[in-house]
Amino acid sequence: MRSATVLLSSLLLPFTGAVVAQAKPTGSTVTVYRCTDAGGKQSLRDTPCPKGQQQQAREMLRPQDAPKPKPVPVPTPAPGPVVATPEVRTVYLAPPRPMYECTTPDGDRYTSENGEGNPRWVPLWTLGYHAVGRPTRSTGSGLAQAPLQPAGPMRPPHGGLHRPMVGGGGTWIRDQCAMLPPRETCNRLRDRRDAIRTRFFNAQEKERDALRLEERGINTRLADDCGGR
């Protein structure tokens, strides 16, 4: 009823003077009635006019709902290239291993890995020790023994460490060593590797095995402490 009323409100064209006979609506048409009362007021309706009113009828197409649009299939996006997730690696950097330069009493220099110079056996008198002539009781040989006493502070030459050993005439001391800067350590390692490669061509097979082992250790240390070069 409401949809027909909305449609009829737009149909304001004058009807023909002749009254059109009422027709039965079909599935695709509808009959519209134009009614005029005694006062001349007109109205449109989809049912016959009441008694006492002038009636005009017109058959029109029945309004139909627009067909529902078919759903548009959403295209499935093509699979993109598989991007591999980068592997995260945690690298722990160890501090560079130090190298030391040691000096012998004669002024010769050499390198050490642990900072301890080569040990040397020296007589105690070179360290300032001498026998003090304090009388003691005689022994069976008839000679009086006088113990050794330091003449001053016990300071080994060249700043080396002293380690008293068994054997009353001397002691062990070590050469003095100083730690090299990291850059100088890397330079010394490269120099040693060059010397190994030069020596390798003239070395015997047994010596070559030792040189290969030493060079492999130097390369590992250069990679860890000196950027691999």
The three-class DSSP label of residue 205 is helix
pLDDT of amino acid 168: 54
pLDDT over 50 at 137, yes or no: no
Radius of gyration of the chain (CA): 60
Do 42 and 16 touch, CB atoms closer than 8 A?
no
Of 127 and 196, the structure prediction assigns the larger pLDDT to 196
pLDDT of amino acid 92: 64
pLDDT of amino acid 224: 87
- pTM beyond cutoff 0.75: no
pLDDT of amino acid 158: 45
pLDDT of amino acid 25: 43
Encoded tokens for 188:
């010394």
pLDDT of amino acid 86: 85
For the ranges 1-10, 21-30, 169-178, the one whose mean pLDDT is highest: 169-178
pLDDT over 70 at 13, yes or no: no
Report the alpha-carbon distance of residue 44 to residue 46 in Å, rounded: 7
pLDDT of amino acid 99: 92
Domains of the chain by residue range: 2-61, 96-131+145-180, 181-229
- 47-97 pLDDT, tens digit per residue, is 888 888 888 888 888 777 778 888 888 888 888 788 888 888 876 666 778
Question: DSSP states of 8-44 as a string?
Answer: HHT--PPPPSSPPPP----SSEEEEEEEE-TT--EEE
Encoded tokens for 75:
């295209």
pLDDT of amino acid 61: 80
Torsion angle of C-alpha atoms 125, 157, 153, 117, degrees rounded to 10: -110
For the ranges 48-57, 150-159, 192-201, 218-227, the one whose mean pLDDT is highest: 192-201
* Mean pLDDT, the chain, whole residue set: 74
pLDDT of amino acid 118: 92
pLDDT of amino acid 56: 86
Cβ partners under 8 Å of residue 185, min gap 6: 96, 98, 99, 225, 226
pLDDT of amino acid 195: 95
Report the run of H or E that residue 54 belongs to, with start and end: strand 54-61
